[in-house]
Amino acid sequence: MAKLIDGKAVAAKVRADIAQEVQTLKKLGVTPGLAVVIVGDDPASRTYVNNKKKACAEVGIYSEEYALPATTKQSELMQLVETLNRKKEIDGILVQSPLPNGLNEEAVVEAINPEKDVDAFHPSNVGRIMIGKYHFLPCTPAGVIELLHSEEIEISGKNCVVVGRSNIVGKPMAMLLLHQNGTVTICHSKTKNLTELCKSADILVAVVGKPNFITADMVKPGAVVIDVGINRNPQGKLCGDVDFASVEKIASYLTPVPGGVGPMTIAMLLKNTVTAAKMHHGITE
């Protein structure tokens, strides 16, 4: 029976450390600041933004929210990003995705000052991650690494399989595992022998976006299984990419959905905001 990795508990510890660090920075006259931009009224996006604001308040990070209507023009959004780039109180800028149809998300990301890009989506930050000289790490992959470290799971020398190749999670996840000396295979919709490849994994990360896609026959007994997926099953219940009931019986470690990777994403966003504040004020560790 797999040991469940409690993302809520690990995230709470990360947040407690961040809160302490924020207090130290405030004594130096520095208050980290995060601006969150939301366009339109997507319910999931609204929930995420509310959770981010609440998390900022908990650890003492100053936050601003910019809620724009779905009718916002590209030029107006770009202008807001430029204003936030110049705003001294703001260390991190996050534009909540997805944006409404008709808005160019790529252009918006590229307009954010890379030193304020706390999502680490800007091409310059993506390049830094590739060569291993980064300021920030994308929040979800960084959260996964933190979860593995929390259980002292060795990555070096292990076969790591990432199922999914998105720019936001799949690709950077593979790079972070590689930086930790894992031997990494990236699988996707065109991969042949998917079951065999997954079964070769000591650490299997599912980033597919399909409910219960990873089944027990795809998992090596004793493997560590990280479920990044957040889906709704036909009954409307929240579930991951991993068939939890069957995989729990054969994995050594498993992240639940909800309560696994999810809480870590916001914790790492807070961490990136503090890092940005320290960079902007020339504070070294």
Report the DSSP beta bridge partners of residue 68: 39
**What span, in angstroms and rounded, lies between the C-alpha atoms of 97 and 93?**
13
**What span, in angstroms and rounded, lies between the C-alpha atoms of 117 and 107?**
13
The residue from 119, 202, 241, 243 that is catalytic is: 119
**What span, in angstroms and rounded, lies between the C-alpha atoms of 204 and 197?**
10
What is the DSSP-derived secondary structure letter of residue 83? Answer: H
Neighbours of 77 (CB within 10 A): 22
Instruction: Examine the residue annotation and report whether 96 is marked as an active-site residue of this protein.
Output: yes
Residue type, 195: T
Kindly give, in sequence order, each residue whose CB lies less than 8 Å from that of residue 262, ignoring residues fewer than 6 positions away.
Answer: 7, 230
Q: Which of 251, 11, 45, 8 is nearest to 142 (CA)?
A: 11
Give the three-state DSSP class for 161: strand
Q: Which of 198, 282, 203, 205 is nearest to 241 (CA)?
A: 205
The dihedral built from the CA positions of residue 207, 213, 217 and 222, taken in this order, carries a sign that is positive
Instruction: Examine the residue annotation and report whether 227 is marked as an active-site residue of this protein.
Output: no
The residue from 52, 158, 220, 271 that is catalytic is: 52
Instruction: Examine the residue annotation and report whether 116 is marked as an active-site residue of this protein.
Output: no
Q: Which of 96, 121, 215, 206 is nearest to 162 (CA)?
A: 206
Residues labelled catalytic = 52, 96, 119
